[in-house]
Amino acid sequence: MAGIGGTLGGMNRRLALVRRPGDRLAEGLVTHIDRSPVDLDLAMRQWEGYVEAFRQEGWTVVEVPPADDHPDSVFVEDPVFVYGDLAVLTRSGAPERRGETDGLDDVLTAHGYRVARITEPATLDGGDVLKFDGTVWVGQGGRTNIEGLEQLRELLAPFDVDVVGVPLESVLHLKSAVTALPDGTIIGYPPLVDAPITWGEEFLPVPEESGSHVVLLGEDSVLMAASAPETAEVFRERGLRVVTVDISEFEKLEGCVTCLSVRLRG
Ligand SMILES: NC(=O)NCCC[C@H](N)C(=O)O
Q: 145: CA distance to ligand 1 center in Å? A: 16
What does the pLDDT look like over 152-191, one tens digit per residue? 999 999 998 999 999 998 899 999 999 999 999 999 999 9
The answer to whether the CB of 246 falls within 8 A of the CB of 49 is yes
- Collapse the DSSP code of 135 into the 3-class scheme (helix H, G, I; strand E, B; otherwise coil) and give the result: strand
Active site residue 111: no
Give pLDDT tens digits along the chain (266 positions): 333 444 454 457 899 999 999 999 999 999 999 999 999 999 999 999 999 999 999 999 999 999 999 999 999 999 999 999 999 999 999 999 999 999 999 999 999 999 999 999 999 999 999 999 899 999 999 999 999 999 999 999 999 899 999 999 889 999 999 999 999 999 999 999 876 556 666 889 999 999 999 999 999 999 999 999 999 999 999 999 999 999 999 999 999 999 999 999 87
Burial class of residue 116 in the structure, from the number of CB atoms within 10 Å of its CB (0-12 exposed, 13-18 middle, 19+ buried): middle
Quick one: DSSP state of residue 7?
B
Active site residue 259: yes
Q: Which residues' Cβ are closer than 6 Å to ligand 1?
A: 28-29, 31, 72, 75, 77-78, 94, 97, 127, 172-173, 175-176, 253-256, 259
Strands (E), 59-173: 60-63, 80-83, 86-89, 114-117, 129-132, 135-140, 162-167
Q: 187: CA distance to ligand 1 center in Å? A: 19
Query: pLDDT value at position 89?
Result: 98
Q: 254: CA distance to ligand 1 center in Å? A: 6
Q: 50: CA distance to ligand 1 center in Å? A: 16
Query: pLDDT value at position 202?
Result: 82
Domain boundaries, the chain: 15-22+37-264
Q: 71: CA distance to ligand 1 center in Å? A: 10
CA of 256, closest atom in ligand 1: 3
Report the CATH fold assignment for 15-22+37-264. L-arginine/glycine Amidinotransferase; Chain A (3.75.10)
Name the catalytic one among 111, 213, 256, 259.
Answer: 259
Query: pLDDT value at position 2?
Result: 36
CA of 28, closest atom in ligand 1: 9
Nearest Cα residue to atom 12 of ligand 1: 29
For residues 263 and 266, what is the distance between their CA atoms, to the nearest angstrom? 10
For residues 144 and 163, what is the distance between their CA atoms, to the nearest angstrom? 14
Name the catalytic one among 111, 173, 213, 256.
Answer: 173
CA of 128, closest atom in ligand 1: 1
Predicted ipTM beyond 0.95: yes
